[in-house]
Amino acid sequence: MHMVTHPEHRGKGAAGMLIRWGIEQADKGGVPAYLEAGIMGRPIHKGYGFVQAAGGRFEGRGK
């Protein structure tokens, strides 16, 4: 699945809302959360506790 924020909605919290939802789903399911991020998305993902792993993949939250 690919998710992006439309340019008109950037900086208004839409991406953060989607990231929080994904983290909540991982927590509910008791599974770890992983994602792949482009250059533009990396700062926001790091802000939610994800860390960059091999190959540009981010490992992070969830159980």
Answer whether 0.75 is exceeded by the pTM.
no
- Beta carbons of 19 and 48 less than 8 angstroms apart: yes
Report the residue count for the chain.
Answer: 63
Q: pLDDT band at residue 6, thresholds of 50, 70 and 90?
A: confident
Q: How many helices (H) and strands (E) does the chain have?
A: 2, 3
What does the pLDDT read at residue 62?
Answer: 52
What does the pLDDT read at residue 1?
Answer: 63
| Rounded distance between C-alpha atoms, residue 59 and residue 45, angstroms | 10
Q: Give tens-digit pLDDT for 11-61.
A: 898 888 888 998 899 999 998 888 887 787 888 888 888 887 766 566 666
Among residues of the chain, what percentage have pLDDT more than 70?
A: 83
